[in-house]
Amino acid sequence: MGRFSLKKVIIIAIVLLAAFALAYGMYFEAAGRDISTSSVELGIASFSPNGIQGGAVIPASCGSPHTGDMCEPPTVTISPEPPGSGTVDDGGGGGGGGGGGGGGGGGTNATINDGGSVTITWSGPSDATSCSGGNFSTGGSVSGSVTLTPSDPTIYTVVCDAPGDDGSATVTVTVIHPLLDILASPARVRPNTATLLTWTSTNVIAGSCRVTAPGFSRTGDSGTNVPSNSITGETTFTLTCSTVAGPVSDSVTVTILPTFIPF
């Protein structure tokens, strides 16, 4: 009989505790106050796969150490990789093509020549759900790379969504506009004669320019009516200069006039 009474007492106590807890919650709700869930979060933390690292509690809902009531923002990295070199031309005279990339700012920024390309690589945290790009498209991918050809200085941004907070990173690409031009007068010569070379350069490193061809080499950022060597066949003269982003070049080709045999 005593054991039956003790069991009834325990049941009554449990019911009273449940009623008290319910009334406590209704009081906070009526008062417009939030019920603290910190103890619940910490309780979940003990079952997190990360456990406790260096004394920092890592809740199961966070992929990084827990700070206050929020997760630390994830880390996002972007690295530009400007490749190669190329040719530039101001539209006059010689050959030459589109601009070329080259060099680099090192670390998080890059410098390229006009017409050059840059490869931007990004990687979001392991718990990121998606990443978006500023001034380029990531397609929502949390990691990847794209090759871009900016014509003007551009700031590229990546923002990744992750539990607790967002993470972002930026990279600045500076574009240099070097202008090179080389002319040959005349551009067609008789065999074993010379031509006169004239060249100019702007937005390049001072003293970095050189004109070369088989058996010919001259230095100088500019030159006017500089005699070439004796030309025996079709010859290409190349003007090459350097910028902080790498080498650039322009060229002109001199051809040989046909030889007529008299009757």
Q: Which residues of the chain have pLDDT under 70?
A: 1-7, 9-11, 13-15, 17-108, 164-165, 261-263
pLDDT score recorded for residue 46: 36
Q: Which part of the chain has CATH 2.60.40.10?
A: 179-256
On the 0-12 / 13-18 / 19+ scale of CB atoms within 10 A, 227 is exposed
Structure tokens that stand for 204 in this block:
């390049």
Q: Note the pLDDT tens digit of each residue in 37-46.
A: 333 333 333 3
Q: State if pTM tops 0.75.
A: no
Contact 128, 122 (CB under 8 A): no
| Confidence (pLDDT) at 204 | 96
Q: What is the pLDDT of residue 129?
A: 87
Please give, one letter per residue, the 3-state secondary structure of the chain.
CHHHHHHHHHHHHHHHHHHHHHHHHHHHHHCCCCCCCHHHHHHHHCCCCCCEECCEECCCCCCCCEECCEECCCCCEEEEECCCCEECCCCCCCCCCCCCCCCCCCCCCEEEECCCCEEEEEECCCCCCEEEEECCCCCECCEEEEEECCCCCEEEEEEEEECCEEEEEEEEEEEECCEEEEEEECCEECCCECCEEEEEEECCCCCCCEEEECCEEEECCCEEEEECCCECCCEEEEEEEEECCEEEEEEEEEEECCCCCCC
| pLDDT for res 169 | 84
Range 179-256 classified under CATH 2.60.40.10: yes
d(CA 78, CA 124): 9
Domain with CATH 2.60.40.2470 in the chain: 77-86+108-176
Q: Which CATH number fits domain 77-86+108-176: 2.60.40.2470, 3.40.50.300, 2.60.40.10, 3.30.360.10?
A: 2.60.40.2470
Q: Which pLDDT belongs to residue 79? A: 56
Instruction: Tally Cβ neighbours within 10 Å of residue 27.
Output: 10
Give the pLDDT confidence of 94-111 residue by residue, as tens digits. 333 333 333 322 236 888
Instruction: Please report the pLDDT score of residue 164 as a whole number.
Output: 65
